[in-house]
A and B are shown apart, each in its own frame.
Chain A
Amino acid sequence: MISSQNLTKTYGSQTVLNIENLEIPKGQSFGLVGNNGAGKTTFFSLLLDLIQPTTGKIVNNEVQVNTSESWKPFTSAFIDESFLIGYLTPEEYFYFVGELRGQNKADVDALLSNFEDFFHGEILGQKKYLRDLSKGNQKKAGIVASFIGNPEVVVLDEPFANLDPTTQIRLKGIIKELSQKREVTVLVSSHDLIHVTEVCERIVVLHKGEVVRDIQTSAETLKELESFFGG
């Protein structure tokens, strides 16, 4: 589904990302872990064509992302609050995203009804604009918006940060369910090793912009990761 070749990103003399080859097959739930500055967000930004690669390319479902826009219909993402439109209510935002992805109101409502539990009654029908919601609730809205319109690739940067424990557990359930259907490729980055090992079948560790581990998740993965970061 997603393949990147000779991908590097350099700012001045500093190389922040250098990935020789990375293939992510369709339907995989893919986890990206690493310390601050490891290049996780850089990789996602390159995948979404928000920054330009210094060398190399990313191909998303046979579309090279920095030369064509046709990866957009099947890719959705929530990176940070700059993906939210502050002056819309959550409902309006969902309908807007729905409209961009060819979903009418009924479709969006049907999808949202699956997330009532996740929203915990704090998002819908609040008569508040997104800019007036708390950081955690903004994040919930952004994450759910990225599920609208049956995307084939979902990119979530640090989805667990800022969420309360209940929501973290619910989000894990949602991501697992999503990847079980084998149709959606989910890319998640996190600082929390426990969360990623729970939801991702494959974990890639980035360190100073380079891939240092590429692990198929198993019972020992958490230990392995802890010893990598601890040692």
Chain B
Amino acid sequence: MFRHFVNLQWKAFFRSASLGKDTAVKVIMGIFAAMMLLYLGLLGVMLYFILEKAFPGADPVQKVSEYFLYWILIELFFRYFMQKLPVMNIKPFLTLPVPKSSITHFVLGKSALSFYNFMSLFLFVPFAVVLLTKGYPLWNLVFWIISILGITLTLNFVNFLINKSDKVLIALAAILISLYFLEYFSLLPVNAFAGELFYLLYQNPLFCLVPIALALLFYWLNYRFLRDKIYLDSTLKKKVKEAVTSDLAWTKKFGDIAPYLQLDLKLIWRNKRTKTQVYISLGMIFYGLIFYFADSYGATSTIYVFVGIFMTGIFLSNFGQFIPAWDSEYYSMIMAQNIPLRKYLESKAGLISVSVVVMFLLSIPYVYFGWQALAINFACAIYNLGVNIPLILYFGSMNKKRIDLDKSAIGNMQGTSATQFLVLIPLMLVPCLMYLGLKFLISFEIALAVFTILGLIGLAFRKPLMSHITEIYRAKKYDMISGFKQKIN
């Protein structure tokens, strides 16, 4: 039975309509994944020496145990966003003589081979090997690794159970942060306590039964949960959320682009993937803190221009790069309905402009780090408004890949092609290089002035630029319509 399933999955992969087209994306993803595993492996090798240096005299295993709880929570957090639930088209099997239990076992078994399960192994196996050469006892290490494997699989199966609710995510984040603060302000010896607990796994090989039992328990819970789900009505019948209607009357102020603006706002708010983009964008306002707190760059470093372009333009690039693919489900309608292309594009530009302004306003507190920070962010916002908006709309004309709006949000590569990677070069890299050159050759003030002026020139020429972009969209219209029609699973 499993042989058939494996065979079918194999064919589903190699015969999928998207194979050839998505190869570039897959290769890049593969390289990222391999790099990540490589880094984890390297970290695993060096971990012993790092810990030895950072905590002289302490037992590295003890230290690892103390922080193991955070590793678990962060891994769970990471999996929540990135790991896809195992899917298999079960509909054709329902009427065939295939036991539902073997379908379930197959789906769950397949998930055990997921990339995410190898992350902790790539970190801890090299670490254990180093420990071995340092004279740590072999069997304790072997059982310790087995325990870690058990914990990893537990996380794997726990993730499938919690992945259905956002509340769990918030709870996880809250636990993570509060644990850290409890430890940081010495309110509760979280690390020491957790450390002792996880150190037991190393000390006493018998305790490796606990994670293994947990893994089995969560496997069983998933099994029960999935097994009952293998019915046509429970897979087909989605939970129907009650529609909340709003007339968004305030958009009327924007004149004749109002109906499109309303549509875009509803698009963003009522679909998971777009909604997540908004949260990510808002969250990214804190991105700059990493660099400003690091404080070793000097107030006018190029890195701050990157930060400025990135923060004020995060929604611009996240949302903008998939224009018009967001509307791919009903693009024929948009094209046949009484919508001038020009208006359609102007409303997208309007929406992104609002986002840039909002992000700039949110970034004003960065003035705390000096007036240069504010000046940089301001110049970057103007540059985004004038130059990058037309640019991203222009690159949008190369989109031909469908996006199904109701698919999950993060780690979702649907609609992604080489364009999405290419677009970042003119969008972010070029301004950074330009700034670097100008600052080096002339001065910080001139460099920012050039940014502002370029942005203003872009704004002044918005009309002819938009006309030109509209023409490009018109020429590519037929390719877009047929591309957006192709469903990729």
Contacts and interface: CB of A to CB of B under 8 A. Distances in A.
Contacts of A80: 332
B262 to A, nearest CB: 8
A69 B336 CA distance: 9
Contact of A82 (B266, B333, B341, B406): B333
Interface in B24-62: none
Contacts of A88: 263, 266
A72 B477 CA distance: 15
Interface string A48-82: 11111000000000000000010011011101101
B266 A73 contact: no
- The interface size bin for chain B is 20 to 34
A92 interface: yes
A128 interface: yes
Interface in B225-283: 238, 240-243, 245, 259, 262-263, 266-267, 270-271
Interface string B51-89: 000000000000000000000000000000000000000
A91 interface: yes
B243 A83 contact: no
Given A51-B478, A100-B259, A84 B333 contact: yes
Given A82-B330, A86-B329, A129-B243, A99 B336 contact: no
A231 B95 CA distance: 37
Interface in B474-489: 477-478, 481-482, 485
B165 to A, nearest CB: 20
B331 interface: yes
A127 to B, nearest CB: 5
A51 B337 contact: no
Contacts of A75: 336
- The interface size bin for chain A is 35 or more
B242 A50 contact: no
A69 B329 contact: no
B405 interface: yes
B270 A129 contact: yes
B337 A87 contact: no
Contacts of B478: 50-52
A126 B245 CA distance: 11
Given A50-B481, A52-B478, A100-B338, A86 B405 contact: yes
Given A50-B335, A82-B331, A96-B263, A69 B243 contact: no
A149 B339 CA distance: 14
Nearest to A48: B336
Nearest to B332: A82
- For chain A, what secondary structure do more than half of its interface residues adopt (helix, strand, loop), or is it mixed? loop
B332 A83 contact: yes
A91 B245 contact: yes
Interface in A97-145: 97, 99-101, 126-129, 131-132
Contacts of A212: none
Contacts of A100: 259, 337-339
Nearest to B240: A132
A89 B337 contact: no
A73 to B, nearest CB: 5
Nearest to B262: A96
Contacts of A72: 336-340
A85 interface: yes
B245 A89 contact: yes
Contacts of A149: 338
Contact of B259 (A52, A82, A96, A131): A96
A87 B332 contact: no
A105 B223 CA distance: 51
A86 B240 CA distance: 13
Contacts of B337: 72, 76, 97, 100
B406 A73 contact: no
A79 B332 contact: yes
Contacts of A129: 241, 243, 270
Given A50-B336, A92-B266, A84 B243 contact: no
Contacts of B332: 48, 50, 79-80, 82-83
B407 to A, nearest CB: 12
A85 B330 contact: yes
B347 to A, nearest CB: 12
Contact of A86 (B259, B330, B340): B330
A51 B444 CA distance: 52
A128 B243 contact: yes
B243 A101 contact: no
A92 B271 CA distance: 16
A51 B405 contact: no
Given A51-B481, A132-B240, A85 B333 contact: yes
Interface in A149-187: 149
Contacts of B339: 72, 100
A127 B238 CA distance: 15
Interface in B446-482: 477-478, 481-482
Contact of A49 (B259, B329, B336, B338): B336
B49 to A, nearest CB: 54
A83 B330 contact: yes
A76 B339 CA distance: 12
B62 to A, nearest CB: 53
A148 B139 CA distance: 77
Given A89-B243, A92-B266, A101-B338, A83 B482 contact: no
Contact of B242 (A92, A97, A127): A127
A97 B336 CA distance: 11
Contacts of B266: 87-88, 92
B340 A87 contact: no
Interface string B332-358: 110111111100000000000000000
Given A50-B335, A87-B267, 16 more contacts: A50-B332, A69-B340, A72-B339, A79-B332, A80-B332, A82-B330, A83-B333, A87-B271, A88-B263, A88-B266, A89-B243, A97-B337, A99-B259, A100-B338, A100-B339, A132-B238
Top 5 closest A-B pairs, CB basis?
A83-B333, A87-B270, A99-B259, A48-B336, A72-B338
Interface of A: 48-52, 69, 72-73, 75-77, 79-80, 82-89, 91-92, 96-97, 99-101, 126-129, 131-132, 149
10 contacts: A50-B481, A82-B333, A83-B332, A85-B263, A85-B329, A86-B406, A89-B245, A100-B337, A100-B339, A132-B238
